[in-house]
Amino acid sequence: MKLTKAESKWLEDLKALLASCPSKRLGFYTIGDPGISVYDYTKEKEISALMDRQGNLYYPGAVDSLDAEITFLNFPNCVHSVSG
């Protein structure tokens, strides 16, 4: 598929912006909405431990429970949540 010049530039700019992240603290996940949640990755072990203790707690709920949510990034279309 051939991208337009504007699409190619937007994707290159987005890649450069993501690569320039000034922190290892920012973690990301999606549940399939048109966006990505940003959370405090330094709480990853606490999030996993909480999910292990409460077997029915999903990742977003654990992030919320630990007050680790930072912000939500909206994309122009759906961000599918898949695993390979």
Query: How many independent structural domains does the chain possess?
Result: 1
In a domain, 15, yes or no: no
Three-state helix/strand/coil letters over 19-72: HCCCCCCEEEECCCCCEEEEEEHHHHHHHHHHHHHCCCCCHHHHHHHCCCEEEE
Query: Using only C-alpha atoms, what is the Rg of the chain?
Result: 16
pLDDT of 72 strictly over 80: yes
Q: What is the pTM of this model?
A: 0.87
User: What's the confidence (pLDDT) of residue 26?
Assistant: 97
In a domain, 51, yes or no: yes
pLDDT of 1 strictly over 90: no
| Structure confidence by residue, pLDDT tens digits, 21-64 | 999 999 999 998 899 999 999 999 999 999 999 989 999 999 99
In a domain, 2, yes or no: no
In a domain, 10, yes or no: no
In a domain, 19, yes or no: no
User: What's the confidence (pLDDT) of residue 38?
Assistant: 97
**Which structural domain range is residue 59 located in?**
24-84
User: What's the confidence (pLDDT) of residue 32?
Assistant: 85
CA distance 81 to 8: 23
